[in-house]
Each structure stands twice: as structure tokens, then as C-alpha cells.
Amino acid sequence: MSGVPAELRQVVDELKAEVAALHAELPRNNLVVWTAGNVSARVPGADLLVIKPSGVSYDELSPDAMVVCDFAANLVEGERNPSSDTAAHAYVYAHMPEVGGVVHTHSDYATAWAARREPIPCVLTMIGDEFGGEIPVGPFALIGDDSIGRGIVETLRSSRSPAVLMANHGPFTIGASARAAVKAAVMVEDVARTVHLARQLGEPVPIPQQDVDRLFYRYQNIYGQGSAQ
């Protein structure tokens, strides 16, 4: 381990606190069980990321428990092994410079769609707002190297969606910040559940593409108070 450069010490410590706090949103929103799932954040100005350690209870995820890795998924700072999904997160940061945060969960409804290898259709205004169209399915990939990361990048580069359902695995979400990626993780589970319920009544009706485009533009550029949603 080469350690965190002194000039990045403050920003890394701030990100550790932010990432630790954001992990609490996953069980709070019923997106994870046991120690599954992870949130990471890019360290601005360096090829580094902050992520949770592997196999540690959410109750133990203090800022000091967070680890720092480089974009080859090597541990740079921390006392524990990094998350088993670190290579996937690192690949995304290395190949999508606009991404500042990555989240992975096994939330029930979104993962059920992933198990079917079926995109979530754009049949709700909320899907148009947040995802800009259907929520796509990424390729099947085994954990352990950057294969999952490659699938995420290949899928999301051609989509406006900040979420991808990795086949037979579960959702990964990205955002300009770690908080934005967590929001997308909450939203993808919510719409996955709602569309599932709609299908119990019949086939949901897709929103015309021109209306999806208008919804997405308004929500991304006009809605809110001029800050990241």
C-alpha cells in the first residue's frame, strides 16, 4: 500500500464519513440483507475510490472502517479487505469519468427483474424522469474481476439510465455523486416493484418516446432547487 497522498487527506476523510453515512440508507430503504451491497465514491483528483470493507455488518460501518482502493482494485488504505465488488466499481470509475458514485444492491424487486433478464419498461412518469427510458439489463458476469464493471460500462454508455440490472445478479447504479447513485438505487427498486404490481392487473402501457424525452429533460434540468437531485 502506498497510502493516501497528504494533499488528499481531508477530502478522503470527508468521503469516508459520507460513504459510511450513505450505507445506512441501504438497509433503511430495504435494499440489502446481512452484509450484501455497497456504496463507493470517487476521490476527486486521483485514481482512487472509497468503499466499504467486505463482509462487515452495516452496524459497524463507521468512517474509520471505510477503505481506499486504486482503480486496479488494490488496497491503498484500510485495515480490512475491500468489498468483493471493488473491481467492478473501479472499472466504472476508470472508464466513465463523469461518474462520482457507484452503488450495488440485491433489492428484491429489481433483482427479480434481473433474474428474468428483462428490462423494466418505461411505463411510469417516474421512470421517464429518473431513468430517461427503460432500465436496461446488462450481461451475465461472474464476480471476482472487472467483468461486471465492463458489463456495466458497455450497457450504460448507450443509455440515459443511471441503473443497470446485471443479469442474474442485481442492480448497479451510478451518479455524479455517491448520494445520487444511492438515490437511483432507491428509485430503481421502487419502480421495479410498481411495474411488477401493474403487471398483476394486465400489461402496462408504455409512454411514447417524445413524452419520455420531455419528462427526462424537465426533471434533469428544471425540477428542484438547482442542485443535484
Residues designated catalytic: 104, 106, 129, 169, 223
Residue 226 Rama label (left phi>0; alpha psi -120 to 50; beta)? left
Return d(Cα 211, Cα 224) in angstroms, integer. Answer: 20
DSSP string spanning 198-214? Answer: HHHHSPPPPPPHHHHHH
Return d(Cα 185, Cα 203) in angstroms, integer. Answer: 25
Q: Give yes or no for a contact between 58 and 27, defined as CB atoms under 8 angstroms apart.
A: yes
Angle made by CA atoms 84, 156, 196, in degrees to the nearest 5 = 85
Q: Which three cell numbers stand for residue 52?
A: 466499504
